[in-house]
Every structure is written in structure tokens, then in C-alpha cells.
Amino acid sequence: MITALAEWSEFNVAMAGASAALAGLVIVAASVNIDKIIHAGTLTARLGAAIASLVLALVASGAALIPRLDLLGYGIVVLACTLIAGAFQVHAMRVIMRDTAPEQRARVVKSVLGYLPIVAYLSGAVLLIAGVSSGLVLVAAGCLLAIVSAIVVSWVVLVEVLR
């Protein structure tokens, strides 16, 4: 089963680099307006969850490159990291749902977007722990979804803070 991870090495190298670069850019971009972001209700929690999903993509991709790591070990790493990133997403959802600002009509949409990569990673990790190598496809989907959702959330946060 170690061969299954090796087949994904090029994808994981690309995703590790992309997610690390993007996480750094998001943090630098947010630091420009950090005072406004901190005082803008839900934005801090949403941005934290977006960064956590990028870190999850980075760790999952990087861990897949560890020599001689089997699917069980990889599944455990992905599961543990997904639970941590999921905690950030749960916190963000709770903050969004408690917000009483009138422009908070799209609360569910704002909450659901961040859960897409978490669900993909969680499903993939469970399959990998069960010894099903097709869980790697779900982990890859989680990585791509993490990048897309983090870009969308980061853009929204950076635009919202300037309104």
C-alpha cells in the first residue's frame, strides 16, 4: 500500500507548495488591515478557519511524502489534523450564527463553504484507516477544496473589511 501514496507524490509536492505559499500570502494580506479585521465581527473566526484549512492541506500533502508511511499511518495523521482544522471551522460557524448584524442573511452559506474540505478530508481519512486506498482521492479533493474555499473566504474577508 506504500505504492499508493507514491503514485500521488507529484500531486502532493505541488499541493504542499501551493498551500504553504497561499497560507503565507493570506496572513500577510490580512496583516495589512488586522486592526479592522479584529474589530469586524465574524471576520477573524472565518479567516482563522480558512488559514487552518490551508495548514491542513499543507500537512496532509507533506505527510504523504514521508518515506515508508503506510495508508493507516497516513489516515491517522489526516484524521488528527482534520479534527483540529474542523474545530476552527466549528468555532467560525458558531460566531457566524451568533452574529446579529443585519447583513448576515447568508449565514448558512458562509458556514458551509469551510466545511467542504473538512468533510472530504474526514471521509478520506476514515477510508484510509479502513485500508481503502481510494480514500486518497477524497484527501486530494479535500486539498483542492481547502485551497478554493480559503481563497474565497480570504477574498471576502479582505473586501468586507474595507466596506
The 10s digit of each residue's pLDDT in 35-50 is: 888 887 788 888 999 9
With a pLDDT cut of 90, the percent of the chain lying above it is 61
Q: Between 86 and 155, where is the model more confident?
A: 86
Q: Which three cell numbers stand for residue 105?
A: 442573511
Q: What's the confidence (pLDDT) of residue 106?
A: 65
Which residues, including other chains, have CB under 8 Å from residue 101's CB and lie 6 or more apart? 41
Q: Is the pLDDT of residue 162 over 80?
A: no
d(CA 162, CA 149): 20
Q: Between 94 and 107, where is the model more confident?
A: 94
Number of structural domains found in the chain? 1
**Domain carrying residue 56:** 2-160
Predicted model pTM: 0.89
Mean pLDDT of the chain: 89
Q: What's the confidence (pLDDT) of residue 107?
A: 64
